[in-house]
Every structure is written in C-alpha cells, then in structure tokens.
C-alpha cells in the first residue's frame, strides 16, 4: 500500500510538472485589462520609436483577444479613458471667469477623451490604420447590445472623417494590368452584382466600353475603400442584364453618349458612415468628360434594396395608408412562384408596381424621418435626380427577393448637383423627374411627412 501511495505521488508530480511545461510553452491570451496597462504605458511614452513598438504590441494583443476580451477592452476604454471631469469642470469655471481664447481652448483640451490620443498613437504603428478600421467593425457589431459604446464609436468616426478626407484619397482606374492582389479584392468586395470568375471580371474592366475606378488610401495600401463600375452606352438602360450579358457586342467608346454607374461597392465595413461615394462619382464624371467629349448623360442603374420589405409590411397591414384597395389583388400576384415568367402577371404588375415604387422612393420614411431606401438617400444626398423607375430591371434571385425586380436610374447633371443636394439636406425635397412625380401622385401622400402641396 505504501509503495502504491509513493507511486501515485510520483505520477501526480510528473503530471503537474508536465502541465506546467505545456502552460509555459503555450502563449498566454491577453486580457482587456492587460491591454489597459499597455495603453497607459503607450500614453506615457515620450519617445516616438518606443511608442511605435508599444502601439504595435497593443494592437497585436487586441487581435489575440476573443469576443469577450474585445468587449471587455471596449468597456475599459469607455469607463477609464474618457475626459477627466474635474479638469473639465475647472476649465469651464476659468472660462466663465475669463472668457478668453486661451481658456476656451483649455475647455476643448479638457473635454477630449484620453482614448482619442490613444487612437492617434496606435495609428503610428505599421498597419495601425487598417487595425483601427477593423477594430471599429468589431465595435459596430457590438453596438446593438452595448449602446453605451456609442461614445467610443463617435470618437473613432471623428478621427476617420479626418484621416480619410478627400485630400488623402487616390483615384485609380482598375484594368487588366492592375495587380492580381487588387483584382482579387475587387471580386471579393463586389456587393451589388456578384463577379463570378476571372472571365466575368475581365468583361467588366478590359473591354473598351467598360471602366472601373476605385479610391485608395495611402495607409491601406492596395486595399480599396470604394469602387464604381461604369458602362458606356448609347442610351439610358432600364435593365441590368444587357449590361452584364457575356455575349453582348461592345461599342466604340467614342460613340457612347451615356455613362452608366451600375455598381458601387463600399469595401471597408469599419468605415461605415464615412462618405466616399459622392466624391468618387463626381471625380469619375469629370475624368470621363475629359476623356470622351461626346458623353452628355451620367446616370446610375441602381437597386432598390428596401422596397420588398417595405411593401410586405404595407400589404400585411389591415388598412394601409398607402395602397389603394384596388391594388391589393394585383400585388397579391407577387406571391405566385415565378410571377415574372407569367405574361399576364407581368402585365398587371407592370401597371401597378412602378407606381408603388415611385411612392416608396420619394415619400416613404423611416423612424428617423429619413427616406426609407438607403440607395435613394445616397444618390439624392449626392445631388442626383430620381429620373426613372424600371419594372423588371433585375430578375436575379437577390433582386427579386429584395426589390421585386425593380431598378432605378438616378441622373447626375453637374449644373444641378449642388442645388439638388442643398434642397434634399436642408428642406428634405426629393429631386425627381416629371415622370416619376406623376407616378408617385397616383398614391396618397402621408399627411405627417409630406407637405400638403407636395
């Protein structure tokens, strides 16, 4: 018995030492609190070289955290790295006693959260900008369950608006000679009309009547921020299939009169809310005008991603404030499998669906009082005009599911862009062609959101 006891003790000791050796060799996962200690060191380091090393160490530590660890780190940034309230109160008191410029600036300095300086120092690290963009994406994913993180998101968004302003952005045309690394990212990031393979990509960038332009930022290298695909055509298209048709015959660019922006894709989800598209479209319009003097018309062929969901809610309501009773039986045909392949169903819906879509695009609002459709907000906010609503413009499964196949043309007319933009932002007025306005008037206006004279 004694021998067995000694043997068990020896085995226990060997096991403990073996586990200790394994634990010693296994890299330890950092915690959000441990990163807080690194953050304190980074903020206290005066030297730039050592500061860069600390910044890289902190970002690498953050990357190694699991989901809970990153959440803990965000909570630490909110609770510990905010503005010092006592310093702010003292600065405010001094300003009230002496409202000088010096004391006003002291308030601004005291009101700034410490984490802003932390982010600035992290940005000095190699790859720091990309890591901070990825960090904000992690933050955005947590906001629905952690609304207290909004101040942290606001801080990052403020910095990004400065770091990613138009003066730092580089416009590049993407063609078949562009590096494979960039072309692979274009395929990956395409968000509107999927690029199925390399041949599909080549048809979009290597034919004489096709163009693709992208914005890049020096700190993100060959990772694009946003890109737009352009088709040079002889008229305004009403459907996407002829543009994407693999068997179509290209036209000579010099014979084109219309430039069609048929796909715009944001590539960096961590930069959500930072606007690049308006700069991109205006810059591309100017470049195309210089290259092709006969181009007179600049339009989009855009999806309507929120339309089907909105219409479903209106149809489900016992009494819709929008849909006249006589339209209900026609709209019920949308529930039929393959309705777009049935001639009778298509004929009936072609007389009703554009009317409903025009109302939705010009008058439907979300809970914040904004236009309900995000693509409409984007283009109308850029100063475009809602030119035409196209029935059966995209019969792909995704477009049928999200928009019942509807597509829209937004017209960019340079002399009117600023005027349309100001009217939309300041007065909530939607610039629309007479044809679209006439369609929308076929349905009732919501009294609370649309002026009586609309």
Which residues are tagged catalytic? 302, 379
* Residue among 255, 237, 283 at smallest CA distance from 388: 237
Residue 409's SS3 state is strand
Q: Which residues of 110-144 are buried (b: 16+ CB within 10 A; e: fewer)?
A: beebebeebbebbbebeebbbbbbbbbebbbebee
φ, ψ for residue 432 (rounded to 5)? -140, 150
What count of other Cβ atoms lies within 10 Å of the Cβ of residue 303? 26
Residues 6+ apart with CB under 8 A from 239: 301, 390, 392, 393, 394, 407
DSSP string, 300-333: E-EE-TTHHHHHHHHHHSSS-SSS-GGGHHHHGG
Contacts of 369 (CB under 8 A, 6+ apart): 428, 449
Q: Residue 266: how many CA atoms within 13 Å on its side-chain side?
A: 13
263: left (phi over 0), alpha (psi -120 to 50) or beta: beta
Residues 6 or more apart whose Cβ sits within 8 Å of residue 343: none
Q: Which of 262, 161, 158, 171 is nearest to 209 (CA)?
A: 262
Q: Which candidate, 152, 122, 121, places its Cα nearest to that of 139?
A: 152
Distances (CA, A) of 162 to 38, 120, 275, 316, 371: 26, 11, 12, 45, 27
- Specify the pairing of strand 407-411 against strand 385-390: antiparallel
Cβ-count burial 9-22 (b if 16+ within 10 Å, e if not): eeeeeeeeeeeeee
């Amino acid at each position: 018995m004694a021998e067995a006891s000694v043997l068990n003790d020896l085995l226990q000791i060997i096991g403990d030492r073996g586990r200790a050796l394994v634990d010693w060799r296994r890299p330890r996962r950092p915690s959000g609190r441990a990163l807080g200690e690194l953050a304190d060191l980074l903020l206290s380091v005066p030297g730039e070289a050592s500061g860069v090393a600390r910044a890289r160490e902190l970002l690498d530590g953050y990357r190694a955290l699991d989901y809970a660890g990153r959440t803990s780190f965000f909570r630490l940034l909110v609770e510990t790295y905010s503005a010092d309230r006592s310093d702010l109160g003292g600065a405010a008191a001094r300003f009230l006693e002496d409202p000088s410029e010096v004391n006003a600036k002291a308030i601004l300095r005291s009101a700034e959260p410490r984490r802003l300086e932390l982010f600035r120092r992290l940005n000095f690290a190699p790859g720091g900008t990309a890591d901070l963009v990825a960090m904000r994406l992690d933050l955005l994913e947590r906001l629905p369950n952690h609304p207290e993180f909004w101040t942290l998101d606001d801080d990052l968004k403020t910095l990004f608006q400065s770091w990613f302003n138009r003066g730092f952005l580089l416009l590049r045309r993407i063609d078949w000679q562009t590096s494979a690394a960039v072309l692979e990212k274009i395929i990956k990031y395409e968000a509107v009309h999927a690029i199925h393979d390399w041949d599909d990509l080549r048809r979009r960038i290597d034919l004489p009547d096709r163009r693709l332009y992208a914005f890049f930022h020096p700190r993100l290298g060959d990772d694009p921020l946003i890109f737009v695909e352009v088709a040079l055509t002889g008229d305004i298209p009403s459907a996407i299939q002829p543009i994407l048709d693999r068997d179509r015959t290209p036209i000579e660019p010099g014979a084109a009169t219309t430039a069609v922006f048929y796909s715009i894709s944001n590539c960096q989800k961590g930069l959500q809310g930072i606007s690049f598209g308006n700069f991109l479209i205006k810059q591309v319009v100017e470049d195309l005008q210089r290259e092709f003097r006969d181009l007179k018309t600049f339009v989009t062929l855009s999806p309507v991603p929120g339309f089907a969901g909105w219409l479903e809610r209106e149809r489900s309501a016992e009494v819709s404030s929008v849909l006249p009773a006589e339209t209900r039986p026609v709209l019920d045909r949308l529930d039929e499998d393959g309705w777009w392949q049935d001639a009778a169903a298509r004929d009936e819906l072609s007389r009703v669906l554009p009317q409903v879509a025009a109302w939705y695009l010009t008058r439907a609002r979300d809970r914040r009082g904004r236009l309900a459709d995000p693509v409409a907000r984007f283009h109308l906010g850029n100063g475009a005009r809602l030119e035409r609503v196209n029935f059966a413009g995209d019969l792909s499964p995704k477009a049928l599911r999200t928009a019942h196949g509807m597509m829209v043309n937004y017209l960019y007319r340079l002399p009117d862009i600023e005027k349309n933009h100001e009217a939309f932002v300041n007065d909530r007025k939607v610039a629309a062609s007479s044809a679209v306005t006439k369609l929308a008037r076929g349905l009732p206006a919501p009294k609370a959101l649309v002026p009586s004279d609309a």
